[in-house]
Amino acid sequence: MFKVLRHKEPQPGQSRTVRFEGHDFGAQVSFFLVDADPGRGSALHVHPYSETWIVRKGEAEFTVGDDRTRGYPGDIVVAAANVPHRFENVGTDRLELVCIHPHDRIVQELV
């Protein structure tokens, strides 16, 4: 048995980022498929689990605690649990990321 979440084109002005929470599909993992314009990113936040980012396209700056690094296509960046973190598209094109949450629900607290 399987379940499918079909892609839907966003309406004008609507975010292109897809949020997937595993509990809706019987999965033990959740994620965001990020599609962000230059200058856009996440607010500073924490999770009670580590978060793994996979850069698919573009250039991102990741802040994890007091550290910063750049990520490029093919890079994998991991933020430890309970450490404030964020990302921002610092490139000139759209940023595509996969943000993996090893939990059946996305548990996030803004800092």
Inside any domain, residue 78? yes
Inside any domain, residue 70? yes
Q: How many domains does the chain have?
A: 1
Inside any domain, residue 107? no
Residue that is written with structure tokens 């399987």 in the block: 2
Inside any domain, residue 43? yes
Find the CATH number of the domain harbouring 55: 2.60.120.10
Tens of pLDDT, residue by residue over 9-48, are 777 777 789 999 999 999 999 999 999 999 999 999 999 9
Inside any domain, residue 90? yes
Inside any domain, residue 11? no
Residue 4 has pLDDT above 90, yes or no: no
Inside any domain, residue 8? no
Inside any domain, residue 12? no
Tens of pLDDT, residue by residue over 42-77, are 999 999 999 999 999 999 999 999 999 999 999 999
Mean pLDDT calculated for residue range 97-104: 98
Full residue range of the structural domain in which residue 59 is found: 18-102
